[in-house]
Amino acid sequence: TQVYKLKKENMTNLVLFGPPGAGKGTQANFLKEKYKLVHISTGDVFRYNIKNETELGLHAKSFMDKGQLVPDDVTIKMLEAEVDKNAEAKGFIFDGFPRTVAQAEALADLMKQKNTEVSAMIALEVDDEVLVQRLLERGKTSGRKDDADEAIIRNRIHIYYEETAILKQFYLKEDKYFGVDGVGSISDITERISKVIDSL
| Distance (Å, whole) CA 94 – CA 167 | 14
Q: How many residues does the chain have?
A: 200
Per the CB < 8 A criterion, the answer to whether 58 and 4 are in contact is: no
For residue 157, give the amino acid letter.
I
Q: Active-site residue 156, yes or no? A: yes
- From 66, 90, 144, 168, the catalytic residue: 144
Q: How far is the CB of 70 from ligand B4P (least distance, A)?
A: 4
Cβ neighbours around 39 below 10 Å, total: 18
Q: Active-site residue 138, yes or no? A: yes
Residue closest to ligand B4P, measured at CB: 43
Q: Active-site residue 99, yes or no? A: yes
**Any residues with CB less than 8 A from the CB of 187 and at least 6 apart, and which?**
none
User: Which residue number, 26 or 116, has a Cβ lying nearer to ligand B4P?
Assistant: 26
**Per-residue 3-state assignment (H helix, E strand, C coil) for 59-85:** HHHHHHCCCCCCCHHHHHHHHHHHHHC
Q: How far is the CB of 66 from ligand B4P (least distance, A)?
A: 8
Q: How far is the CB of 8 from ligand B4P (least distance, A)?
A: 24
- From 66, 114, 138, 176, the catalytic residue: 138
Q: How far is the CB of 14 from ligand B4P (least distance, A)?
A: 14
128-142 and 150-159 are packed helices; what angle lies between their axes, rounded to 10 degrees? 130
Hey, is 126 helix, strand or coil? coil
User: Which residue number, 8 or 163, has a Cβ lying nearer to ligand B4P?
Assistant: 163
User: Which residue number, 129 or 175, has a Cβ lying nearer to ligand B4P?
Assistant: 129
Residues forming the site for ligand B4P (CB under 6 A): 18, 20-26, 42-43, 46, 63-64, 67-70, 75, 96-97, 99, 103, 134, 138, 146, 156, 186, 189
Per the CB < 8 A criterion, the answer to whether 164 and 99 are in contact is: yes
User: Which residue number, 77 or 85, has a Cβ lying nearer to ligand B4P?
Assistant: 77
Q: Active-site residue 144, yes or no? A: yes
Q: Active-site residue 47, yes or no? A: no
Query: Would you name the residues annotated as active-site residues?
Result: 24, 99, 138, 144, 156
